[in-house]
Amino acid sequence: MYGLTFVFVVETVGVSLLLRDHPGLHAVALVADVYTVLMVLGSQAAAVTRPHVLGAEDLLVRGGARMEVRIPLASIALVRYDLRSRQDARSGADGGQGDGGPLELAIAGQTSVTVELAEPVVVVWLLGRRETVRTVRFHADDARGAVGAVRGAVDAVRAARSAAERGEPVTPG
């Protein structure tokens, strides 16, 4: 992402030099270029400051500021390490495949964790568009560690619910 930002900065300087004799065009191009650089930096900042979060009852998968999916741990049927590139997937440009298809939150064109759901969840995108998904694929820096943590949390939720159904006291683990 920072490489792309560098390219945009170089492009801004180049366009400024080319348009130095045309102040009106120079101003418009400069505003557009600065806006583009700020958007790319903002996207990177959102990815860094809004990570995926594993809670006691749910997994929160985030795609920067664009969207977040709250997946109840009880709804997770299977979680696995599954390195995929965008070429392997048959999803649209936004990462979704319509209602019921997989949701992909790729980083650099790759996902590394696949979560299959026992029941569908509704995804709400930034501008309010809703989509129902049964499979969520996302990238994690430590994918195997993330899979292990999610499996442990899912097992803990299932054990707690099983104990509650049997009438046993549930103690937090």
Chain centroid, CA 1 distance in Å: 15
Q: Would you mind telling me the total number of residues written for the chain in this entry?
A: 173
Pairwise CA distance, residues 164 & 169, whole Å: 7
142 CB burial (10 A radius; 0-12, 13-18, 19+): exposed
Q: What is the pLDDT of residue 67?
A: 82
pTM of the model: 0.71
pLDDT beyond 80 at 64: no
| Mean pLDDT of the chain, nearest integer | 85
Q: What is the pLDDT of residue 129?
A: 86
